[in-house]
Amino acid sequence: MRIIPAIDIIDGKCVRLTKGDYSTKKVYNENPLEVAKEFEAQGIQYLHLVDLDGAKAKHIVNHKVLHEIASKTSLQVDFGGGLKSDEDLAIAFDNGAAQITGGSIAAKEPKVFLRWLDKYSAAKIILGADCLNRRIATQGWTKDSGLDVMDFITQYVERGIRQVICTDISKDGMLQGPSLELYEEILAINHIKLIASGGVSSMDDLRRLKEIGCEGAIVGKAIYEGNISLEELAAFNGELSKN
């Protein structure tokens, strides 16, 4: 299982929200590159970078932060937030994204998202399936699309998507554990590589996600609040590489 720390960006700063609520913003570092370099120094290879300004503005905003991290570290960055057009996607890849995550666009404009999948391949395009009460949320989690999370994921896996990031919004930033039951249900879908996101509060949570078969796990607030140390993540990564 891949360990993927998260950096969420507002005004160029590293922040975290609770349940996606912008009014709960807490700034953890004014310089996201410093944070990324700390991850890299502990042997972390992957980063989930979210442009929260972009998610609100409906177009990419913090591409300069992406460029700085991608050009000054060896981290493989998956980038999401506000990617709504071919131009947004080109900007993300031109600024160093190894992959992009599309959520709102996949819910609202499936033809555009499928065109991206055809053009860039399933290795580059990740489906973002962020849900509240099993319904897909869009526009920085501010809108209910009415789409069932299982139906949403299944239809895209049938069209060639392989990697899916699923966040249960009710768990995000709460440090109360991930949605294991939901993830087990999703993992029953053939050919899926599930990246769990939201609620990870301890190393035990990560071990459970590995046990049920998640391909990756995104860790955010648990790092910033000190529940999980980077040294613990590095040791866990070492365990994973031996298995």
Residues serving a catalytic function are 8, 130
- The region that residue 77 occupies, defined by phi over 0 for left and psi between -120 and 50 for alpha, beta otherwise, is beta
Q: Is 124 helix (H, G, I), strand (E, B) or coil?
A: coil
Write out the DSSP string of 153-217. HHHHHHTT--EEEEEETTTTTT-S---HHHHHHHHTSTT-EEEEES---SHHHHHHHHHHT-SEE
Residue type, 152: F
- Residue with tokens 């970078």, as numbered in its chain: 49
Residue linked to tokens 């040294």: 231
Strands 2-10 and 125-132: unpaired
Euclidean distance between CA atoms 75 and 200, whole angstroms: 21
Helix boundaries (H) for 7-165: 32-41, 52-57, 63-72, 86-94, 104-108, 110-120, 149-158
CA atoms within 13 A on the CB side of 175: 13
- 48 by Cβ neighbours in 10 Å (0-12 / 13-18 / 19+) ranks as buried
